Amino acid sequence: MNAPSSHPSPAHRLSSVSAMFPCYNDAETIGTLVDDVYTALAPLVDELEVIVVNDGSADGSRAVLDALAVDRPWLRPIHHERNRGYGGALITGFTAARHDWIWYTDGDAQYDASEAALMVPLATDDVDVVQGYKLGRGDSWYRKVIGRTYHHVVKFLFRLPVRDTDCDFRMFRRRLIVDRPLTSTSGVICVEMMRRFTEQGARFVETPVHHYARPSGRSQFFRLPAIARSARQLLQLWWRIVVRRR
């Protein structure tokens, strides 16, 4: 991992940021997250937009987002008529982003969106990716075991430079996904993202962020069919972007 060569100034600002959330049945949490990230970033960013990709939710997320957008001109809801998967939602959001930097986290409130402000001082001229890593994990013990096992497997297979691959709390330069568009529509998009960024010689810096228990709903990942599907997709990705490129 490459570290920045100089300490950022406390007054460091960014010219423009697109903050993005994928949303799948997150009607109970997404409104608070949208306001939290805007309140945190607006004093630090010259131009700021917030994008939420509603990935075919069935719980009223669409109505919540459309109501929020009425008096929040900086908010852009995007609605998928059918669920396209976690990666599909990210790709839509990243493609819609207009600004130089993209920040994103999940819409389920397991991360504190206001901690996006901690990343701005680290996004200096000699940094391309500000990557979060979890201070503990607000999940049950077996999810912690699965999560760490997953991380170590993908770090070895894909030669990734970060300490917490599945920490979905990131800020990165938009050009990284313009130059090398992402294709994975499932949760393995995070592995593809880190591998693509590494291949482009992206300069990383890491920072700790808090992780909390999910306040509502259920994770779609920690179910046997989803785990089996992700394992298959992970191996396909490894074969395609690692083995075949050697």
Written as one string, the DSSP assignment of 62-129 is HHHHHHHHHT-TTEEEEEESS---HHHHHHHHHHH--SSEEEEE-TTSSB-GGGGGGTGGG--TT-SE
**199: CB partners within 8 A, 6+ apart:** 180
Which residue do the tokens 């089996």 mark?
A: 228
Q: pLDDT: is 31 or 156 the higher one?
A: 31
**132: CB partners within 8 A, 6+ apart:** 111, 115, 119, 164, 167, 169, 170, 206, 207, 208, 209
The answer to whether position 4 is within a domain reads: no
The answer to whether position 3 is within a domain reads: no
The answer to whether position 119 is within a domain reads: yes
Q: Kindly state the average pLDDT of the residues 133-155.
A: 72
pLDDT digits (tens, 9 = 90+) for 189-216: 999 999 999 999 999 999 999 999 887 6
Q: pLDDT: is 35 or 164 the higher one?
A: 35
d(CA 23, CA 167): 17
Give the pTM.
Answer: 0.87
CATH number at residue 56: 3.90.550.10
Question: How much of the chain exceeds pLDDT 70, in percent?
Answer: 85
The answer to whether position 233 is within a domain reads: yes
The answer to whether position 53 is within a domain reads: yes
Strand order in the sheet with 169-173: 75-80, 45-55, 14-23, 101-105, 169-173, 129-135, 204-210
Number of domains in the chain: 1
pLDDT digits (tens, 9 = 90+) for 64-113: 999 999 999 999 999 999 999 999 999 999 999 999 999 999 999 999 99
The answer to whether position 126 is within a domain reads: yes
Which residue do the tokens 């993908």 mark?
A: 154
Which tokens in the block code for residue 50?
Answer: 């917030």
226 has pLDDT over 90: no
**238: CB partners within 8 A, 6+ apart:** 157, 158
Q: How many CB atoms are closer than 10 A to CB 140?
A: 11
The answer to whether position 61 is within a domain reads: yes
3-state secondary structure of 229: helix
The answer to whether position 166 is within a domain reads: yes
- Domain range holding 79? 14-243
